[in-house]
A = this chain, B = another copy of it.
Amino acid sequence: MTREEKKKKIKADITRNAIALFKEKGFDQVTVEEIALRSDIAKGTFFNYFSKKEHVLLHMADSYLPLMGQIFGRHRTGPVRARIECILSDLLDLYLQYADLLRITLVESIRASLAAGDEETNISRLRSAFSAFLEDAQTAGEIRTRANADDCAALLVGLLFQTLILYSSRLDAPEMRRMLVRQLDLAWEGIADATVEKNL
């Protein structure tokens, strides 16, 4: 095993053990020493792999990337609007599966994005995934041609986040899904009253 491979493996080990502990006891109740112990390393070594305890969460989110790709790939047929609804719904389900953990992960992802320069972040990758999806849809003519796919993507991520922010304390899955659909409807049809719009 080469040096690089070994590092990858240890980082993956730490992440796996840390996440398992977080799921068991909650993020704040797990100490770095505990993670290190279970990963057969010293506490100091942990910080050779992650500069902050929270960064484990970001790395975990990275490892969910393929799953995200899968969600976007899963819905390929039918009208774009319906497919977006399915994608949003699947992302919501994913979130709800480990809401306690992903809640903090979401916060950390936002923090990272707010601090990051031009580097990629979890959130920018989510936007990109939507953007790529929408560009395809745009060539199919189901989306306003004047609209920019990146902007549409940002709008969709924004409404997803608002839904999570508003409801994730209650974790009322059906209500969250309804809100998601209503928000998507709004974003899709527009806020403006069409009759008034036409008169301008």
Contact surface of A with B, Cβ cutoff 8 Å: 81, 103, 106-107, 110-111, 113-118, 123-124, 127, 141-145, 147-148, 151-152, 154-155, 157-159, 161-166, 168-170, 179, 182-183, 186-194, 196-197
Contact = CB atoms under 8 A, between A and B. Distances in A.
A32 B93 CA distance: 40
B190 A144 contact: yes
Contacts of A179: 151, 154
A160 to B, nearest CB: 8
Given A144-B193, A159-B154, A161-B161, A106 B117 contact: no
Quickly give the copy total for this chain: 2
A196 B117 CA distance: 39
Given A127-B166, A144-B191, A155-B159, 6 more contacts: A81-B192, A144-B186, A151-B183, A155-B158, A158-B161, A158-B162
Closest 10 CB pairs of A and B: A190-B190, A158-B158, A158-B162, A154-B162, A189-B190, A107-B111, A113-B165, A188-B192, A144-B193, A158-B159
A24 B124 CA distance: 31
